[in-house]
Amino acid sequence: MQTVDVNSITDYIAGTFENKDDQRASEVMIKLIQALHNYIREVNLTHAEWDAALQFLRAVGDKTTDHRDEFMLLSDVTGATSLVDILAGLTSPEATAASPRGPYYLPNAPLVEQGALICREDEPGTPAIFKGRVIDLQGRAIKGALLDIWHNADSGLYSNEDESQDDINNRGRIHTDENGEFRVRTIRPRPYPIPMDGPVGAMMTAFGRSPWRSAHFHIIVSADGYEPITTELFFSDCEYIDTDAVAGVRSSLVHQPIYATTERGKTLIVDHQFCLRK
Ligand code: MBD
Ligand code: FE
């Protein structure tokens, strides 16, 4: 007979996850059980607290649809998304750092030419030129890389949560040219609160956490033969740069805003070099 007590229960359960055919799966699950049990012992978790936790997770599931991933939002605000990103980048620190994708990506943004306007002609906000280059780890230009760019409007809203914007507004996909370069015209993104109308928002409110994300461009960069990277670019003068709700800010992704005068008036110039690994 094998009975369990407050400590031996951990080996009792963890041992059932031994799997000779998949050592990695074993490691991931056994360590998870150990971390969970250690946590329960450490905080001396009560019935009421564990019930609340399970109800919370149930609410996260209930809120999740094809268009709303409350589990991803939970991963984002707990720092799990960013920590996995940071870990993945440690092996090649010269490559562009990853940052959360967020809930507002839409596939099939318009494919545009160099210099294209990816917002409306009369888009409210600060005009911006977003340009740069895509290189490999050896510093060689990658031509034909694809940048999938999206960001919010001056109202703070992304096109897919705003009736007054076309779905494709503030979105575009552009290939790099012979020199690995790209250039689009748009507006400066604005700070934005994470979606607060679900259980994750209720948790943020309960702990007095700030829902604000530092203003950002979203970019997915991909090229044949390279690892695609989902990332963001930030601005050092944003009031939320040090308090981003999802810990998405990396120093290599922060731009000191530079302005130039163009045909659209005072224009933010963001010039960024992206680096992909094989
Ligand atoms: C966003 O705009 C975002 O980028 C992330 C990661 C989470 C919530 C809202
Ligand atoms: Fe975003």
CA distance 189 to 248: 15
> 245 C-alpha vs ligand 1 centroid, how far in Å?
9
**SS3 assignment, position 32:** helix
Atom nearest to 99 CA in ligand 1: 6
Q: Whose CA is nearest to atom 5 of ligand 1?
A: 102
Distance separating alpha carbons of residues 207 and 71, to the nearest angstrom:
19
Q: Pull the structure tokens for residue 137.
A: 């780890």
Q: Enumerate residues 6+ apart whose C-beta is below 8 A from 226.
A: 136, 142, 145, 276, 277, 278
* Gap from CA of 153 to ligand 2 centroid (Å): 11
- Radius of gyration of the chain measured on its C-alpha atoms: 22
Nearest CA to ligand 1 atom 1: 102
Q: pTM (2 decimals)?
A: 0.93
> What separation in Å is there between the alpha carbon of 213 and the centre of ligand 2?
7
- State the Cα–Cα distance between residues 278 and 272, nearest whole angstrom: 20
Question: Two tokens at 28?
Answer: 């991931």
In Å, how far are 20, 33, 181, 183, 265 from 117, measured between CA atoms?
Answer: 55, 51, 16, 10, 15
- Residue 23 carries which side chain, given as an amino acid letter? Q
* Residue 120 Cα to ligand 1 middle (Å): 22
pLDDT band at 12 (very low <50, low <70, confident <90, very high): very high
Please tell me whether residue 88 adopts helix, strand or coil conformation.
helix
State pLDDT tens for residues 214-233.
999 999 999 999 999 999 99
Tokens encoding 213: 């994300």
Residue of the nearest CA to atom 9 in ligand 1?
194
pLDDT digits (tens, 9 = 90+) for 79-135: 999 999 999 999 999 999 999 999 999 999 999 999 999 999 999 999 999 999 999
Phi, psi (5° rounding) for residue 167? Answer: -55, -30
User: Are the CB atoms for 212 and 191 separated by under 8 Å?
Assistant: yes
Residue 145 pLDDT > 90, yes or no? yes
**Which residues are bridge partners to 184 per DSSP?**
116, 130
Quick: pLDDT tens for 232-251: 999 999 999 999 999 999 99
170 vs 67 pLDDT, higher one: 170
Sheet with 258-262, side-by-side order of all strands: 116-117, 181-187, 127-136, 265-276, 258-262
In the numeric block, which tokens belong to residue 106? 């839409």
Q: Tell me the average pLDDT across 196-220.
A: 98
Tell me, what's the pLDDT at 1? 75
- Residue 219 Cβ inside 6 Å of ligand 1? The answer reads no
Is the minimum distance from the CB of 246 to ligand 1 under 6 angstroms? Answer: yes
Question: Does residue 194 line the site of ligand 1, with CB under 6 A?
Answer: yes
**Average pLDDT for the chain:** 96
Between CA 140 and CA 166 the distance in angstroms is 37
